[in-house]
Amino acid sequence: MAKKKKTITKTERKPRFQKIKSFFGNRQTQTILGSFAVLFAVFLIISFFSYFFNWQEDQSQLANFSDKNTSVKNLLGKIGATISHFFIYDGFGISSIYIPFLLFFSGIAIFLKGSLKSVRKYWGWGILAMIWLSVAIGFVSSNNQLLPGIIGYELNSYLQQFLGKTGLLLVLLFLLISYLVIRFKLTPEKIKSIFPVKKAVKTSNETTTSEEVKKSIEPIKSTETKEIFTADFDIPIENKKPSSKNLESTERGEIVKIDVEKIVEESHVEENMSSKLVKDFGEFDPTLELGNYTFPTLNLLKDYDESISIDQEELESHKNRIVETLNNYNIGIARIKATVGPTVTLYEIVPDAGIRISKIKNLEDDIALSLSAMGIRIIAPIPGKGTIGIEVPNKKATMVSMKSVISSAKFQNSEMELPVAMGKTISNETFVFDLAKMPHLLMAGATGQGKSVGLNAVLTSLLYKKHPAEVKFVLVDPKKVELTLFNHIERHYLAKLPDTEDAIITDTTKVINTLNSLCIEMDARYDLLKTAMVRNIKEYNTKFKARKLNPENGHKFLPYIVLVIDEFADLIMTAGKEVETPIARLAQLARAIGIHLIVATQRPSVNVITGIIKANFPARAAFRVTSKIDSRTILDGAGADQLIGKGDMLFTNGNDVIRLQCAFVDTPEVEKITDYIGSQRAYPSAYLLPEYTGEEVGTSLDIDISERDVLFRDAALVIVHAQQGSASLLQRKLKLGYNRAGRLIDQLEAAGIVGQFEGSKARQVLVPDELALNQLLDGEKE
């Protein structure tokens, strides 16, 4: 029962207590109280001082406090005189001065929302000091009652009766020492440190022992236990358990704070360093090594008459024929619109309601017949437009010059990583794509339809937009004539295998080595991306430019690498899987690390463009091909067989097929550009790809005689007669595949008939004639 009562009273009390708490916690209350305390303290100080001068006269008047006719001399009137009398005369004497000061600081603390805990602490220590002081003053001036106040005076005489004068003095001294030690943590060592004594010569036995150290920190420990009572200004240090380092530093009685946490800041050093480096030197500029490099100028490119003449007669007759043909099949036309492009005109037809689109599509050949023109393409419907398009070649095609596409604002202002101005669309707009986004391009077209010009257009675009530090080309040209002009810019823009002479690769063995080397480069780049914790080359280079990647850890600015293969069919025929495998690997993985492939072929048959290659080349450019089947292989649909040649092309990136007129750049123009670049200061060498040694090399000499190819003797004869140790010679003469010819060369080397592999050069033939060969081979049998 009683328990219940207790809980009820407790819960009743709680809200009342909380009300009081919230009243004093209110900032308005605090401001009023704080300012009152400060002003009251000022009041007390003035009245106390005034009291010391007038107390004798005023004292007699205090009895007549309420009498109007009596006045006091205290500056703060009767109230000032009364209060001063109460505190000084009837209280603690001159040590009462503590009270207004304590009040003043308390007022400030409340006013500024300081901690009331510290206020309480001041009062505790202040009152103790005040009592001690009044007793001490009473002890010194026992005849004066004002200075110690009644309390000091009476306490003094009371204590003297018990302790005697000397005893009281000793007690007072002890209390003073205790006060100073506890309040201000005074120790002999601290006093010593404040007033440094001349250092005596230290002998070895004077070194501080751990015992002494312990002793020296003892006061600290004791204060720790009394924390609530004695908490002081040094709270943070006191609360900390002295660490072993702190123990050492307390030798002289003071605690030196060791900021161990600063070590954590080291993780930011690289970051700070990089921003400092960027601040000091600016962002890393990869182009700095060839800082004076100037891009080729537009006047190196030829001007052509590119004005598209609109032949009204031609338009009318085409329109009439289209309408007629369709009418013959009962297809009515609601509207027809023509867009004249450089090579073809697009007639956009809106058929009458209810006409099936497939019906018009099926009439493709009939319309072509009635227009008596080749290259008719029907787009039914035009994606995103809802109309049917009929592309009819113009009688007079207009050339699209490289100059016109390069100088277009669209290309010049493009912010793409690898911008390529391929040509112009049917509506005469410059078509620019980002090779980095494609990310690889497959180009096909029958011979003489504009592939090589297309490749040159791609390369020219990149030369006009990218600095030598930003892009490198690996050029594979089995035809040996198409890309030779780019030799001029070897040390600016080309990449090659170390220890090879020509950067432009014409030899199948070298192609295999280069492709495998690119795979090594790809793997190395992936490792760099991994350590840099970025997802692609763009992020990597941005981070490198911001100086956040340390070159000492193997990081370097990574240029884009564009691998161009002109005539892929030839490579596949001679090297098969050895070429296909690294190409497929590169095509699958290289997009993120900036290796992009452009593969061109005359024969887009399925055994050249295999499924695995096709799957990894979403971007396709088709020039005119000879059959619908070839068109299907390259574009996954018909259309390329309907093109008119001379750079007329279809381009797709997996979705829509766009008809373009490829920009024309001829050999003299390319020569001018490469000469312009080549005449400028270059890097010491071409960009070196990682070394790759073919698997056959090194094992060749172990080949057993019994394992020789049946054609070994024939091959030896061919080589000795021609005095030229090349695998391609064997391929041609003996009609062999690349692999078999390669193996034969290895066996010939093992037999000592040809010399070692010497890069791009043919191997040396070590046997001068047939006679010597027969002797050598017969000798082996014995």
Ligand X SMILES: Nc1ncnc2c1ncn2[C@@H]1O[C@H](COP(=O)(O)OP(=O)(O)OP(=O)(O)O)[C@@H](O)[C@H]1O
- Residues of each annotated binding site for ATP: 445-452
Question: Exactly one of 169, 399, 638, 711 binds ligand X (CB under 6 A); which one?
Answer: 399
Question: Exactly one of 609, 662, 715, 730 binds ligand X (CB under 6 A); which one?
Answer: 662
Site string for ligand X, 358-377 (x = CB under 6 A): --------------------
Q: Which of residues 640-659 bind ligand X (CB under 6 A)?
A: 646-647
Q: What are phi and psi of 378, to 5 degrees?
A: -110, 125
Q: In 3D, which of 381, 379, 354 has the Cα closest to residue 367?
A: 379
Alpha-carbon distance 468 to 463, whole Å? 8
Give yes or no for a contact between 81 and 74, defined as CB atoms under 8 angstroms apart.
yes
Q: Which is nearer to ligand X, 517 or 661 (CB)?
A: 661
The stretch among 130-138, 450-458, 547-555, 748-756 that binds ligand X (CB under 6 A) is 450-458
Q: In 3D, which of 746, 699, 750, 705 has the Cα closest to residue 727?
A: 746
The stretch among 318-326, 440-448, 556-564, 704-712 that binds ligand X (CB under 6 A) is 440-448
- For the bound state, the minimum distance from the C-beta of residue 398 to ligand X, rounded and expressed in Å, comes to 9
- For the bound state, the minimum distance from the C-beta of residue 464 to ligand X, rounded and expressed in Å, comes to 17
- For the bound state, the minimum distance from the C-beta of residue 270 to ligand X, rounded and expressed in Å, comes to 51
Which residues belong to the annotated binding site?
445-452
Alpha-carbon distance 245 to 454, whole Å? 75
- For the bound state, the minimum distance from the C-beta of residue 451 to ligand X, rounded and expressed in Å, comes to 3
> Angle, to 10 degrees, between the axis of helix 451-465 and the axis of helix 667-678?
30
Question: Exactly one of 100, 393, 419, 450 binds ligand X (CB under 6 A); which one?
Answer: 450
The stretch among 81-89, 442-450, 488-496, 751-759 that binds ligand X (CB under 6 A) is 442-450
- For the bound state, the minimum distance from the C-beta of residue 492 to ligand X, rounded and expressed in Å, comes to 24
The residue type of 139 is F
Q: Which is nearer to ligand X, 131 or 399 (CB)?
A: 399
Question: Exactly one of 664, 687, 692, 712 binds ligand X (CB under 6 A); which one?
Answer: 664
Question: How, if at all, do strands 687-688 and 495-496 pair?
Answer: parallel
Question: Exactly one of 223, 452, 500, 574 binds ligand X (CB under 6 A); which one?
Answer: 452
447 is a site residue for ligand X (CB under 6 A)? yes
Q: Which is nearer to ligand X, 547 or 603 (CB)?
A: 603
Site string for ligand X, 586-615 (x = CB under 6 A): ----------------x-------------
> Any alpha helices (H) in 69-148, and if so which ranges?
77-84, 98-111, 116-140
Beta-carbon count within 10 A of 492 CB = 24
Residue in the shown chain whose Cβ atom is closest to ligand X: 647
Alpha-carbon distance 240 to 195, whole Å? 27
Question: How, if at all, do strands 619-622 and 441-444 pair?
Answer: parallel
624 is a site residue for ligand X (CB under 6 A)? no
449 is a site residue for ligand X (CB under 6 A)? yes
- Please, is 280 exposed, middle or buried when counting C-beta atoms within 10 Å of its C-beta (0-12, 13-18, 19+)? exposed
419 cis-preceded (ω within 30 degrees of 0): no
- For the bound state, the minimum distance from the C-beta of residue 368 to ligand X, rounded and expressed in Å, comes to 23
Give yes or no for a contact between 138 and 155, defined as CB atoms under 8 angstroms apart.
yes
Q: What are phi and psi of 41, to 5 degrees?
A: -65, -40
- Token digits of residue 662: 């490829």
453 is a site residue for ligand X (CB under 6 A)? yes
Q: Which is nearer to ligand X, 444 or 745 (CB)?
A: 444
- For the bound state, the minimum distance from the C-beta of residue 540 to ligand X, rounded and expressed in Å, comes to 35
431 is a site residue for ligand X (CB under 6 A)? no
DSSP string covering 157-181: HHHHHHHHHHHHHHHHHHHHHHHHH
- Please, is 766 exposed, middle or buried when counting C-beta atoms within 10 Å of its C-beta (0-12, 13-18, 19+)? middle
Q: In 3D, which of 544, 470, 552, 515 has the Cα closest to residue 689?
A: 515
Q: Which is nearer to ligand X, 572 or 662 (CB)?
A: 662
The residue ranges that bind ligand X (CB under 6 A) are 399, 445, 447-453, 602, 646-647, 662, 664
